[in-house]
Amino acid sequence: MSFLANLELNFAECMIDGGKATLGVRQRVEMDATLRMKQNEIISQALCALLNSGGGVVRVEIENGDYDFERDGVGLNLPPLFRNHLDEMVHGKFFLIYVSSWNVAASQVRLATLCSNLYHRYGTFTEVMDSAEALTFLRRVQDLRNLGGPDSLNLQEVPVDDDQMILASDLFDSPQLQYLEKLNFTESPHVEFQMFSADLSQGLRERLPKCVSALANSEGGYVFFGVHDETRQVIGCEKEKINRSNLVTTIDVCIRKMPVYHFCAHNHKVQYALKFLEVYDKEVLRGYVCAIKVERFCCVAFAKAPDSWEIKDDNMKQLTEKDWTSWMIEANPELSSFPQMIPRWNMLNTTPRSRTVLIHKYLKSVEELQKDYFPDDLSTFSATETTNPSKQAEPA
């Protein structure tokens, strides 16, 4: 995806190619679901990039030639964060989406973000944090690190202070389990049950980072693959279908690839321990439960890089976890060391790329200086404008 040049569309705004798409509410319902999601993803990323970069236009080529905007509608089902930031029109074979700049004051967050990819445990559920929740979480961790200092950052050992964690710890150390036995504890903020998917490796790659991010960002805990989340019964994975060596590698690579952000001086990744618990059917080894103990992380653990985009060097690029976090928590300059300076324009109430404007409290602004040095000219100008309101400025 790139900027467009030498178009027959002569617009002053920055324009990004949003690819080709089928439009129309009915038409998009009837199309292949995977293709529909891919088109939505491409367009959403382009819109997000423009929101974070001052606005512009996304140009989408309409694939269905019989498309009628008034009759068929659009059907793109874009995320709610774009609401009130977009205008649309059809220009020949193109669908144009006009994007305004992100409104920081209205949203109370510095960036437009499709998905933070920061997870937490909400009761017995693993849920992704929305932008506001993510910002609150980031600031809380930052404050804890600033208050605690470098000696308080060893958070790997978490006190086991509830029954669920004690029972989960006992299960993690169990020599063996019985097929279909019902566990004597449930899911909790520190315990999650997952079933294996048909494709073991792919299923772990898709679900494990979310589980690990949620537990690491809380107080740590356990995730058990092979336990039914509703019945609490031990199912496991049949021994003929599991290659423990391959799964160990898959899990390690998966967790090591998870992006992290440190407010502290440490530079480590999420710490974990892995066991394959044997599952017996009577006295015969039937399969395994994959048990993962996740340590509490000292700072911030993402499942993957945040889904937030910007325009940089005439290209659309995804923000790294470092840039995204720094941008999200950026605050007004600390003025305690400069008591003579006061903010004139607050960056938190404007657009993402703006910066706070500071002025010296004892120096006058340009408007004030004009009044001091040219009072007659200003009054003459005002009088002229009042008596000749229809007079237009002559062209240069």
User: Is residue 279 a contact partner of residue 195, using CB atoms and an 8 Å limit?
Assistant: no
Residue 290's Cβ-count burial label (10 Å; 0-12, 13-18, 19+) is: buried
Distances (CA, A) of 140 to 143, 144, 270, 322, 351: 5, 6, 19, 17, 24
Percent of the chain beyond pLDDT 70? 80
Tokens describing residue 350: 């404007």
Same domain, yes or no, for 38 and 60? Answer: yes
Averaged pLDDT, 25-42: 96
CA–CA separation, 132 and 114 (whole Å): 12
Domain count, the chain: 2
CATH number of the structural domain spanning residue 219: 3.30.950
Distances (CA, A) of 260 to 191, 222, 283, 285: 22, 19, 44, 39
| 297 occurs within a structural domain | yes
Q: Residue 332 pLDDT > 70, yes or no?
A: no
Percent of the chain beyond pLDDT 90? 66
CA–CA separation, 158 and 295 (whole Å): 8
Same domain, yes or no, for 97 and 128? Answer: no
User: Is residue 344 a contact partner of residue 84, using CB atoms and an 8 Å limit?
Assistant: no
Hunting for tokens 């999601």 — which residue is that? 37
Compute the chain's Rg from CA coordinates. 28
Look at residues 107, 135, 159 and tell me which one is the last residue of a structural domain. 107
Same domain, yes or no, for 43 and 181? Answer: no
| 248 occurs within a structural domain | yes
Same domain, yes or no, for 94 and 125? Answer: no
Same domain, yes or no, for 144 and 230? Answer: yes
| 217 occurs within a structural domain | yes
pTM for the structure as a whole: 0.81
pLDDT, position 380: 56
Q: What residues make up the domain containing 130? A: 119-301
SS3 356: coil
| 360 occurs within a structural domain | no
| 335 occurs within a structural domain | no
- Residues forming beta bridges with residue 301, ordered by sequence position: 260
| 172 occurs within a structural domain | yes
Find the range with the poorest average confidence among 97-111, 146-160, 235-249, 315-329.
Answer: 146-160
Instruction: For 360-385, write each residue's pLDDT tens digit.
Output: 666 776 777 788 888 776 555 555 55
Same domain, yes or no, for 224 and 89? Answer: no
CA–CA separation, 191 and 341 (whole Å): 51
| 167 occurs within a structural domain | yes
Instruction: For 277-324, write each residue's pLDDT tens digit.
Output: 999 999 999 999 999 999 999 999 999 999 999 998 888 999 999 999
Q: Residue 388 pLDDT > 50, yes or no?
A: yes
Q: Residue 226 pLDDT > 90, yes or no?
A: yes
Same domain, yes or no, for 182 and 236? Answer: yes
Averaged pLDDT, 67-80: 94
pLDDT, position 155: 45
Same domain, yes or no, for 95 and 73? Answer: yes
Between 62 and 312, residue with greater pLDDT: 62
Residue 140's Cβ-count burial label (10 Å; 0-12, 13-18, 19+) is: exposed
Which range scores top for mean pLDDT: 349-353, 361-365, 387-391? 361-365
